[in-house]
Amino acid sequence: METTVVIPAYEPDDRLQGYVQALYGAGFAEIVVVDDGSGPAYGPVFDAVRAVAGCVVLSYGENRGKGAALKTGFRYLLEQARRAGRPAPGAVTADCDGQHTVEDVLAVCRAMEKAPGALTLGCRNFGPGTPQRSAMGNRVVSGAMRLLYGIDLKDTQTGLRGIPGPLLEQVAGLPGQRYEYELNMLIWARQQVIPYQVVPIRTVYFENNAGSHYRTVVDSIPIVMRLLSGVVQYGAAAGLSAVVDVFLYCILVKLAFQNLSLGLRVLAAAAIARAVSSVFNYACNRRLPTAQNRAVAGTLWKYYCLWAVQLAASIGMTWALCALTAMDEMPAKLLVDLLLAVLSYQVQLHWVFAAPAAGAPAPRPGLPAWDGFGHLAKRVVSVVLGHWTYREEERLPDGPRVYVVHHQNLYGPVRAAAFLPQDVHVWALSVFTERQACFQQYYSYTFTQRFGWPRPLAFLASGALSLLVPRLMHGIGAVAVHRGGPEIRETMRQSAALLEQGESLAICPDVAYSDSGAAMGQTYNGFLMLEKYCFARTGQHVAFVPLHCSPSQKALVAGRPVYCVGGDGRPAVDKKARQSAAEALRAEHNRLAARCGDLAPQAAGDAPQNPAAAAG
């Protein structure tokens, strides 16, 4: 195996030798261990490690930090490659305490080798048993990275990463000496539009993570400074733009236009000052660390669309606030503009200066794909709904999956799309993917028949939603589902192609989709024909994974997968087999709901002992 494992080590215990031996035995020809100034007392540990076949130990006297140790290992690999006249190898980083299992290191290595242009991140789920300090710290940092940089990762501090050879030299030159270096790597990758892929790994802690060398205050300061650097620069740019605006306004209104009438003088001075300050602000913002696309041609028009909307909103909201609350104009203006500045930051992050979203492979022509609008909607929903976690009852197999979700009147699909670790393609009725059909669905049925609204009000609401909903479905890469007819074959074809590409689906097969109860009732089973379509394309079986959205735990819980496979190893998708598999999925979902405390155990029914074999 050409990939090298790089392990930064500071004051390791005796487990390091066994860990390195296990990595070598798994097929890694070279393991580089960097002694980050552990001191003479740990010499015997490193001597034992040095004696392991295929292992190189690099040492220096003083402790420099995890980032410095990683970069030392990377530079060693680059130098060795230069001397040998060969390309730099890929590197997988792992922690020295053995919390990254050999199986997970191998999984990250394999995923990295399949995607040589992307970072590969082994991410934990942080379920029960995670030390409170670790879970809380990661939750705070992940939330900040999502809000401030648009990086949607559940485990931003993971030490298990795959860095392909073509990226190694750039990664080795990034700033940061300690734990902030790993954040710098993620922020740099987003800015450079380098995609990342996530490999789920086990969450392992020894003795409540007592061996961690993380210093809560000292090591948190550079992390906090790095997290806030983008928004501080954004605020500074806004402040300087305001200074330019006011200064130029005063010059124009007092000197250049003093011979004009008062109204014309104020209007001309304000318009010119605001236009010049906006150019200054645009020039500053396109150089922020959050900006991916800095090309004037692709961003200028977006910026001024936002600028015009923000100006109109400032005027209208300030007037409304003063009229409704009798608030003074000055504090009302400050409050409104502060709110709009926060919203503007998010719009610039996810739309104005955003490049095509990282984190997913390039879609094939004609297939649904997530875009910037979809990711912006995902961020908004995640902020509104608060923090949700994802966990697996047991380790799921690698590769794409079909998550089977209880609809609950949109409760399930919204949370699946917003909080699953990877972007999933939701099955959506075709009427919601086409503007005219969407209008007819809302106007002729939803608002008039179901809700009983007056027709004028239903017309306005249907018109607004028919503009938003199809665009949202397009943005999140939804797969259009046609009820009956030959069009359903296109749904299956697109879904199988997405699975072949390595992407996952979320399907809500409920017959009573408006039922908001926790128990999944009767379901359709036609979606299980995906097994046949996918097997014909790839020769691989589809893992249908029950996914329960637990309101009590604010968690997505994935259960044991169900396969539609016969005894001969071929797809089993006849009517009886599909009914059996659908019942296994329903029972497993309700077992999860009962286990999470969202459903009484007697209401869950008896789940099969081995749902994975239910269809066989």
Average pLDDT over residues 201-225: 61
Question: What beta strand segments (E) does 406-469 contain?
Answer: 424-429
Task: Choose the weakest-confidence range: 174-178, 602-606, 612-616.
Answer: 612-616
The stretch 115-134 carries a mean pLDDT of: 74
At 356 the pLDDT is: 46
Q: At what angle do helices 102-114 and 15-25 cross, to 10 degrees?
A: 40
Nearest to 529 by CA among 491, 486, 569, 583: 491
What domains can you pick out in the chain, each with its CATH number?
Answer: 4-213 (3.90.550.10), 227-352 (no CATH), 386-428+486-613 (no CATH), 434-477 (no CATH)
Residue 536 has pLDDT above 60, yes or no: yes
Strands 119-123 and 161-163 come out as: antiparallel
**pLDDT grade for 289, boundaries at 50, 70 and 90:** confident
Q: Which pLDDT does position 579 carry in this prediction?
A: 93
Q: Higher pLDDT residue, 287 or 138?
A: 287
| Element at 324 (helix H, strand E) | helix 296-325
> For 108-112, 211-215, 347-351, 422-426, which range has the lowest pLDDT when averaged over its residues?
211-215
Q: Please tell me the distance from the alpha carbon of residue 113 to that of residue 91, in angstroms, as a whole number.
A: 10
- CA triplet 103, 104, 109: central angle to 5 degrees? 100
For 482, which DSSP code?
-
pLDDT of residue 589 exceeding 90: yes
Q: Are 279 and 303 in contact (CB under 8 A)?
A: no
pLDDT at 603 over 60: no
CA nearest to 433, candidates 361, 514, 368, 357:
368
Q: Classify residue 553 by its DSSP letter.
A: T
Mean pLDDT, to the nearest integer, of 234-261?
Answer: 81
Distant-in-sequence, close-in-space partners of 441: CB < 8 Å, separation ≥ 6 = 431, 432
- Of the ranges 130-144, 156-170, 495-509, 565-579, which one carries the lowest mean pLDDT score? 130-144
Q: What is the pLDDT of residue 124?
A: 79
Q: What is the pLDDT of residues 326-337, one digit of tens each?
A: 887 778 878 888
Q: Tell me the angle at which helices 132-149 and 220-251 cross, rounded to the nearest 10 degrees.
A: 30
Asked whether residue 436 carries a pLDDT value surpassing 60, the answer given is: yes
| DSSP 8-class letter at 207 | G
Is the predicted pLDDT of residue 604 greater than 70, yes or no? no
Q: What is the pTM of this model?
A: 0.54
Confidence of residue 205 (pLDDT cuts 50, 70, 90): low
Predicted pLDDT at 609:
40
CB 596 within 8 A of CB 415: no
* DSSP annotation string for 57-72: EEEESS---HHHHHHH
**Residue 417: what pLDDT?**
94
Q: Which helix (H) or strand (E) holds 438?
A: helix 435-441
What pLDDT is stored for residue 365 in this prediction? 44
Say whether 29 sits in a helix, a strand or coil.
coil
- Average pLDDT score over the chain: 84
- C-alpha dist (Å) from residue 129 to 203, 208, 209, 547: 9, 8, 11, 21
For the ranges 83-97, 126-140, 265-279, 395-409, which has the lowest average pLDDT? 126-140
More confident: 151 or 71 = 71
- Average pLDDT, stretch 43-65? 90
- pLDDT for 397: 82
What's the pLDDT score for residue 610? 41
Cα(353)–Cα(226) distance, integer angstroms: 20
> pLDDT value at position 606?
46
Strands (E), 430-499: 479-481
Q: Are 230 and 210 in contact (CB under 8 A)?
A: no
Q: Give the residue with greater pLDDT, 103 vs 225.
A: 103
Q: Grade residue 216 by pLDDT with cuts at 50, 70 and 90.
A: low
Under a CB-based contact definition with an 8 Å cutoff, are residues 58 and 124 in contact? no
Measured between alpha carbons, how far is 189 from 185 in angstroms, rounded to an integer? Answer: 6
Asked if residue 288 lies in contact with residue 187, where contact means CB atoms within 8 angstroms, the answer is: no
Order of strands, sheet of 55-60, starting from the edge strand that comes earlier in the sequence: 55-60, 31-36, 4-9, 91-93, 161-163, 119-123, 196-200
Find the mean pLDDT for residues 207-219. 52
Section 481-488 average pLDDT: 74
